């Protein structure tokens, strides 16, 4: 919240008019307002826009300046410092990957991400990552080719406070963990990730998890969890995650949702139903999924949890105990069977061979071979061919399932192919070849939906006032090339990738700029479902902020379902700072339970230059209990005040 710099808004604005915009859909309309020639940093001409809401594609030009989308329509009469024709290509919001294990040292180039059209990655998933989020600014200082956001990891917090032993947390420890989570939320965390499958998160009982994460209720954020069990107990583990979210008042997200093992195939009927039922009773519950039927994790994933208690040294001691070794071997076999058909489906990409092959060569059982590998080489990266196509499709088709890679920026040549191919595989294989999704639906699952799950308000859509993260691809050729045997093969068909208004990829080549930012979430950016119905929002009255003085606001906006443009009047006057604005264009309106947000553009007095505006409004701010409105104009001015008056959302 910055006090206005008088030099920036030097002159008094003449009149604050109420402006009515009423445009249905998105034909290539004349944008009335352009009386003088508009100038932009960049104009994308004649692209086929798929805006991230799931709405049908349309053709238009896009004008971009200072990192924001400022105009959509016919810009033939405008001029741009750079203008390119993207006729015949799809223009989509940059892809937002909400489950990234990015190798942080390669984020300054992020070639694997950019060649997939990814412009933002959410790191520290599965409960991991630093407890102190200041690592984000350090990464930003080193230079970011894409945007990043961070979760706060439940497992990391638990480990920091309780340690690595299987025991109950004391009430003091619960209190301490809550403080760490809250501190991270204050520092901009995009949710609380958990890996209740992994030690030491798996030592936490459900109620303990709720006791810790419920501190986030007022933050209205999300809880992406690698559930305790993805095979024989996948139902209970899914239900548990939903119950944690529901009890704690945050959005449960089943991350890399799947059903493992032949004995469990078909259970997605029930796990998807659990998510749908939660949504039907008014709890937003979501999931993300990667487009492969094999998972990648460590080899310890098939070692029973009790054997791993206390960490690697303890595990090796148990292996070395002759009275235990036979039993461990037996239990590893059981776990293998619960996840995949047999040891032929357990694959080591670094060795390009299977667990069964290694076992056969050494003349031992797969269980014994597992222990020997762990003793000699540690927990190798392991690919488990776990899945059934039917479960995969059922999860994919569910409306609250987003696409996320479980990969992230890397330069490794011995990794899961999803790290090089996820989003192009969705577009090229699932959409074009398998015809499982429409292109609009697929784009939504990679842009607007993940943005709404984590609570972003200014990315994820092609709309006026949104940050200019844009991916331009050819729907007829885009495809992944990465395979399990040769994963380091960059995807094809992504032509241009724009990060915060700058080309990170141009003509399929990296420009090697670092336009990415470390993004921070604020509490007025709730996790929420994508709107399906008509939106109507209004607010009128005096805004009060002790430090910033008083202002006047008058908002009335109606937006039809599936429309990105609205019937609207918006007026904001901050006399003390000489700010009188009317909105020129309004982008997508987002609403949820008494909260609303929209972006748009406005102009300052004596300037023909459009600048972006971001408004969020809360009928009842969860921290103050009062009606609150926040208005951000450009990057310079931010007013946040309590409204004496009414806010209506729908």
User: Which residues would be at the binding site for Zn ion (CB under 5 A)?
Assistant: 126, 226
Name 348's bridge partners: 353
Pairing type for strands 509-510 and 502-506 reads antiparallel
Please, what is the minimum distance in Å from the beta carbon of residue 194 to Zn ion? 10
Nearest CA among 214, 211, 289 for reference residue 254 = 289
Nearer to Zn ion (CB atom), residue 367 or residue 487: 487
Angle at alpha carbon of residue 505, lines to 504 and 506, rounded to 5°: 120
Question: Residue 27, class by beta-carbon neighbours within 10 Å (0-12 exposed, 13-18 middle, 19+ buried)?
Answer: exposed
Please, what is the minimum distance in Å from the beta carbon of residue 406 to Zn ion? 6
Please, what is the minimum distance in Å from the beta carbon of residue 587 to Zn ion? 33
Distance, CA of 555 to CA of 538 (rounded, Å): 5
Please, what is the minimum distance in Å from the beta carbon of residue 223 to Zn ion? 14
Nearer to Zn ion (CB atom), residue 178 or residue 226: 226
Q: Which two tokens stand for residue 405?
A: 């890679």
Q: Return the beta strands (E) in 124-270 as ranges.
A: 147-150, 152-153, 192-193, 222-225, 251-254
Nearer to Zn ion (CB atom), residue 130 or residue 645: 130
Nearer to Zn ion (CB atom), residue 91 or residue 301: 301
Nearer to Zn ion (CB atom), residue 254 or residue 570: 254
Distance, CA of 69 to CA of 71 (rounded, Å): 6
Q: Which residue is nearest to Zn ion (CB)?
A: 226
Question: Residue 549, class by beta-carbon neighbours within 10 Å (0-12 exposed, 13-18 middle, 19+ buried)?
Answer: middle
The three-class DSSP label of residue 417 is coil
Please, what is the minimum distance in Å from the beta carbon of residue 387 to Zn ion? 15
Please, what is the minimum distance in Å from the beta carbon of residue 102 to Zn ion? 14
Nearer to Zn ion (CB atom), residue 406 or residue 618: 406
DSSP 564: S
Please, what is the minimum distance in Å from the beta carbon of residue 383 to Zn ion? 14
Please, what is the minimum distance in Å from the beta carbon of residue 380 to Zn ion? 17
Nearer to Zn ion (CB atom), residue 126 or residue 618: 126
Nearer to Zn ion (CB atom), residue 126 or residue 584: 126
Please, what is the minimum distance in Å from the beta carbon of residue 452 to Zn ion? 21
Per DSSP, the residues of 67-133 read TEEEEEE--TTSEEEEEEE-TTSEEEEPEEEEEE---GGGTTT-HHHHTTTEEEEEES-TT-S-SST
Nearer to Zn ion (CB atom), residue 125 or residue 448: 125
Nearest CA among 147, 116, 146 for reference residue 508 = 116
């Amino acid at each position: 919240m910055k006090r206005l710099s008088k030099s920036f808004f030097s002159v008094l604005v003449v009149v604050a008019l109420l402006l009515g915009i009423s445009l249905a859909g998105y034909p290539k309309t004349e944008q009335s307002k352009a009386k003088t020639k508009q100038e932009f940093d960049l104009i994308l001409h004649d692209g086929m826009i798929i805006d991230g809401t799931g709405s049908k594609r349309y053709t238009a030009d896009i004008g971009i300046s200072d990192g924001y989308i400022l105009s959509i329509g016919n810009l033939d009469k405008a001029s741009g410092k750079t203008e390119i024709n993207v006729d015949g290509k799809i223009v989509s919001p940059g892809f937002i990957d909400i489950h990234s294990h990015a190798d942080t040292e390669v984020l300054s180039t992020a070639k694997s991400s950019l060649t997939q059209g990814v412009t933002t990655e959410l790191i520290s998933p599965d409960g991991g990552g630093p407890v102190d989020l200041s690592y984000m600014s350090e990464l930003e200082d080193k230079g970011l080719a894409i945007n990043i956001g961070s979760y706060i990891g439940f497992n990391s917090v638990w480990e920091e406070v309780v340690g690595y032993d299987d025991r109950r947390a004391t009430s003091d420890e619960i209190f301490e963990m809550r403080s760490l989570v809250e501190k991270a939320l204050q520092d901009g965390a995009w949710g609380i990730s958990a890996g209740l499958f992994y030690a030491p998160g798996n030592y936490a009982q459900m109620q303990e998890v709720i006791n810790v994460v419920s501190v986030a209720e007022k933050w209205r954020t999300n809880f992406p969890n690698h559930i305790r069990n993805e095979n024989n107990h996948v139902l209970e583990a899914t239900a548990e995650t939903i119950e944690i979210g529901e009890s704690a008042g945050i959005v449960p997200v089943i991350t890399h949702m799947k059903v493992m093992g032949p004995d469990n195939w078909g259970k997605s009927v029930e796990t998807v139903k659990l998510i749908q039922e939660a949504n039907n009773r008014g709890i937003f519950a979501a999931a993300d999924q990667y487009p492969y039927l094999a998972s990648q994790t460590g080899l310890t994933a098939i070692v029973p949890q009790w054997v791993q208690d206390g960490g690697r040294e303890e595990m090796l001691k148990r292996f070395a105990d002759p009275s235990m070794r036979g039993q461990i071997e037996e239990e590893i076999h059981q776990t293998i069977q619960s996840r995949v058909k047999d040891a032929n489906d357990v694959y080591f990409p670094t060795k390009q061979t299977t667990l069964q092959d290694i076992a056969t060569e050494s003349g031992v059982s797969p269980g014994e071979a597992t222990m020997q590998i762990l003793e000699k080489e540690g927990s190798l990266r392991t690919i488990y061919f776990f899945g059934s196509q039917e479960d995969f499709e059922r999860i994919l088709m569910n409306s609250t399932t987003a696409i996320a890679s479980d990969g992230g920026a890397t330069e490794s040549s011995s990794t899961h192919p999803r790290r090089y191919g996820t989003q192009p595989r969705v577009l090229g294989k699932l959409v074009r070849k398998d015809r499982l999704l429409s292109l609009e639906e697929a784009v939504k699952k990679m842009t607007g939906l993940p943005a709404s799950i984590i609570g972003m308000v200014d990315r994820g859509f092609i709309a006026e006032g949104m940050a200019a993260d844009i991916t331009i691809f050819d729907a007829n050729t885009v495809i992944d090339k990465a395979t399990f045997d040769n994963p380091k093969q960059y995807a094809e068909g992504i032509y241009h990738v724009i990060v915060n208004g700058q080309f990170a990829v141009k003509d399929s080549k990296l420009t090697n700029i670092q336009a990415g930012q470390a993004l921070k979430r604020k509490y007025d950016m709730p996790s929420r479902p994508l709107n399906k119905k008509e939106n109507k929002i209004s607010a009128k009255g005096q805004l009060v902020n002790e430090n910033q003085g008083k202002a006047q606001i008058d908002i009335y906006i109606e937006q039809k379902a599936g429309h990105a443009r609205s019937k609207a009047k918006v007026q904001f006057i901050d006399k003390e700072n000489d700010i009188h604005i009317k909105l020129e264009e309004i982008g997508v309106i987002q609403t949820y339970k008494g909260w609303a947000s929209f972006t748009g553009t406005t102009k300052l007095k004596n300037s023909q230059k459009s600048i972006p505006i971001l408004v969020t409004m809360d009928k009842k701010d969860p921290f103050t209990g009062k009606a609150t409105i926040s208005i951000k104009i450009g990057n310079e001015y931010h007013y946040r005040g309590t409204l004496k008056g009414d806010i209506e959302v729908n």
